[in-house]
Chain A
Amino acid sequence: MSGSLLQLEQVEVSFRSGKSWKQVTYDVSFDIAPGETVALVGESGSGKSVTAMSILDLLPAGTRRSGRILFAGEDLVAADESRLRQIRGSDVAVIFQEPMTALNPVYTIGDHLLEAIRSHADVPKEVARTRAVELLRQVHMPDPETKIDHYPHQLSGGQRQRAMIAMAMSCEPKLLIADEPTTALDVTVQAEILDLIVELQRRTGMAVLIITHDMGVVADVADRVVVMREGRVVESQPVRSLFNTPEADYTRELLEAVPRLGSHADVAAPPPPGEPVLSLQDVAIEYAGAWRKAGFRAAEGIDLDIAPGEIIGLVGESGSGKSTIGRAAMGLLPVAAGRLTVGGRDVSAGGRTDLHHIRRHVSMVFQDPASSLNPRRTIGQSITDPLLWTQGVRSRAERRRRAAELLDMVRLPGAWVDRYPHELSGGQRQRIGIARALATKPALMVADEPTSALDVSVQASVLELFTQLQQELGFSSLFISHDLSVVESLASRVVVLRQGHIVEQGPTLEVLRSPREDYTRALIAAAPVPDPDVQAERRARRAELVG
Chain B
Amino acid sequence: MLPERLRAAMTPLRWVAFGYVVAVLVVVVAAPVFAPHDPLQQDVSLRLLPPGTEGYLLGTDELGRDILSRLMYGARVELLIALGATLLAMVLGTLVGLAGGYFGGLVEVLTMRVGVDVLLAFPPIILALLAVTLRGPGAGTLIIAMGVLFAPTFARITYGQTISVKRLEYVEAATAFGAPTTTRMFQVVLPNVSAPIIVQFSLTIANAVLLESGLSYLGLGVVPPTPSWGSMVAQGQRYLATEPHALLVPGAVIVLTILAFGLLGDALRQWLDPKSRSAR
Contact = CB atoms under 8 A, between A and B. Distances in A.
A389 B188 contact: no
Interface stretch (B121-129, B172-180, B202-210): B172-180
Interface stretch (A169-177, A249-257, A364-372): A364-372
B179 A385 contact: yes
Given A60-B278, A332-B175, A372 B170 contact: yes
B174 A18 contact: no
Contact of B191 (A60, A376, A439): A376
Contacts of A385: 174, 177, 179
Contacts of B280: 62
Interface in B140-198: 168-170, 172-180, 183, 188, 191-192
Contacts of A436: 173, 177
Given A18-B4, A375-B192, A376-B191, A386 B172 contact: no
Interface string A241-259: 0000000000000000000
Contacts of A330: 176
Contacts of B192: 374-376
A281 interface: no
Nearest to A366: B169
Contacts, number: 60
A359 interface: yes
B178 A364 contact: no
A373 B188 CA distance: 10
B168 A386 contact: no
A439 B179 CA distance: 14
A368 B169 contact: yes
A85 B189 CA distance: 45
Contacts of B179: 385, 389
A389 B177 contact: yes
Interface string A293-333: 00000000000000000000000000000000000001110
A62 B173 CA distance: 38
Most buried by B among A18, A363, A372: A372
A229 interface: no
A374 B278 CA distance: 23
A332 B178 contact: no
Nearest to B168: A371
B168 to A, nearest CB: 6
Contact of A386 (B4, B170, B177, B191): B177
Interface residues of B, number: 19
The binding surface of chain B is classed by DSSP as helix
Interface in B34-70: none
B178 A389 contact: yes
A371 B174 CA distance: 12
A44 interface: no
A332 B169 CA distance: 12
Nearest to B194: A376
B126 to A, nearest CB: 35
Nearest to A370: B169
B176 A389 contact: no
A389 B180 CA distance: 7
A374 B192 CA distance: 8
B169 to A, nearest CB: 4
Most buried by A among B168, B169, B192, B278: B169
B183 A389 contact: yes
A402 interface: no
A359 B175 CA distance: 9
A457 to B, nearest CB: 24
Given A60-B278, A374-B188, A376-B192, A390 B178 contact: yes
Contacts of B180: 389
Interface string A383-417: 00110011000000000000000000000000000
B4 A359 contact: no
Contacts of A501: none
A240 interface: no
A388 to B, nearest CB: 8
B173 A372 contact: yes
A538 interface: no
Nearest to A60: B278
Interface in B259-273: none
B271 to A, nearest CB: 15
A374 B166 CA distance: 11
Contact of B169 (A18, A372, A376): A372
Given A18-B4, A366-B169, A440-B177, 13 more contacts: A60-B278, A330-B176, A356-B178, A359-B177, A363-B176, A364-B176, A366-B172, A367-B169, A371-B169, A373-B173, A376-B191, A385-B179, A386-B178
7 contacts: A331-B176, A364-B173, A368-B169, A373-B170, A389-B183, A390-B178, A440-B177
Pairs A-B, 4 closest by C-beta atoms: A359-B178, A386-B177, A390-B178, A372-B169
